Amino acid sequence: MNHLIRPALYGSHHNIINLSPCDLPKENAFICGNICECADTLGSNIEISGKIGDILCIENAGAYGYVMSSNYNERPRPAEVMIEETGHRLIRRRETFEDMRLKI
């Protein structure tokens, strides 16, 4: 709901891949956010392997990812990373609860 609202709003699809090393077999999964809301979905019917704590990449979120994000339910926004042919780079650091407190 606060990270990427597009799938909940109008069913947008984003490829989701696991960036963490994982030897587990791929399974058909439902990827959700960290807020206990029925609309806090990032993807469904995603073939992926992984475990709790792995880092997932939600591809092609684009500019709308951050612009449409919010501090809904008092949650900080995630970091944004630009993936390029030559590697990756942090373009916006993860928000902290302290950052949110300073906005008030």
Which residues are annotated as catalytic?
A: 36
With b for 16 or more beta-carbon neighbours within 10 A and e for fewer, the 16-54 pattern comes to: bebeeeeeeeeeeeebbbeeeeeebbbbeebebebeeee
In Å, what is the CA distance from 103 to each residue of 7, 48, 64, 70, 98?
Answer: 27, 37, 21, 13, 9
